[in-house]
Amino acid sequence: MSLKYRLLKIGLFFCILTVGIGCDQTTKEMAREQLAYQAPVKYYEGLFTLAYYENTGAFLGMGENLSPYIKLALLIFLPFLILLGVTFHILKDQYSALYFLGFCLLIAGGIGNLIDRWMDGFVVDFMHINLTDGIRTGVFNFADVYITLGLCLVFVHLLRDK
């Protein structure tokens, strides 16, 4: 891999991370300012709702009753090590644009949520989708969207690669 390509890749990586983390942190701050201590705001007859939540657990609040030391290990240090490993993986070799973008989004989302956990002890979630009575999402944020989209892109790359 040429030096020019490697520098371009690193620059693109940091641009995606900066924009992704910046948007995530900005929207979470807006949620704190506009939605905390307010009634949920519903749009499109309740299809989309904005409401402020503090998630002290992991995905969908799992693990919120764990001891503080286990939470520190499982929700901060372990994800940090995984993100570090994934970062070295994606910057080391040449991959398809789909794979690279997918992992960049995964890393940006992971860092966005890690910032919250490290600074506040919880992750700010504020969006909810209710398609029908039985089909709805948990409450999520933009970091969660980046992680989900990133995983989808990586899986599409892996399926196309086979």
Annotated catalytic residues are: 125, 144
**How would you list the strands of the sheet with 123-129, edge to edge?**
41-43, 48-55, 123-129
Give kind and range of the element (H or E) at residue 129: strand 123-129
Q: Is 114 helix (H, G, I), strand (E, B) or coil?
A: helix
> What is the helix, strand, coil percentage profile of the chain, to 5?
65, 15, 25
Say how far apart CA 85 and CA 101 lie, in whole Å: 16
Instruction: Determine the Cα–Cα distance for residues 66 and 72; give it in Å rounded to an integer.
Output: 10
Q: Distance between CA 12 and CA 90 in Å, rounded?
A: 12
